[in-house]
Amino acid sequence: MDRAVKYIFEKHADKRCLGVRAILEEKKVPGPNGKEFTKLVQDTKYKWMSYTEVDQKATAIGRGLRLLGIQARDKLVMYCDTKAEWMITAIGCFKFNVTLVTIYTNLGEDGVAYGINQTQAGYVVTSQELLPKLIKILDKVGTTNNSHQLHLKMPILLTFFVSASNSSYHPRHRGTTQRRSSSPRRKIQQRR
pLDDT tens, N- to C-terminus, the chain (192 residues): 778 888 999 999 999 999 999 999 999 999 888 888 889 999 999 999 999 999 999 999 999 999 888 899 999 999 988 889 999 999 999 999 999 999 999 999 999 999 988 988 888 888 888 888 888 988 888 754 433 333 344 444 455 543 333 334 333 333 333 333 333 333 333 343
pLDDT at 160: 52
Q: How far is CA 42 from CA 83, 122, 132, 147, in A?
A: 13, 35, 26, 53
CATH class of segment(s) 2-15+49-191: alpha beta
> Domain-by-domain residue ranges, the chain?
2-15+49-191
Q: How far apart are CA 29 and CA 26, in angstroms?
A: 10
Around 73, how many Cα atoms within 13 Å sit in the side-chain half-sphere? 1
pLDDT at 175: 37
Q: How far apart are CA 24 and CA 94, in angstroms?
A: 32
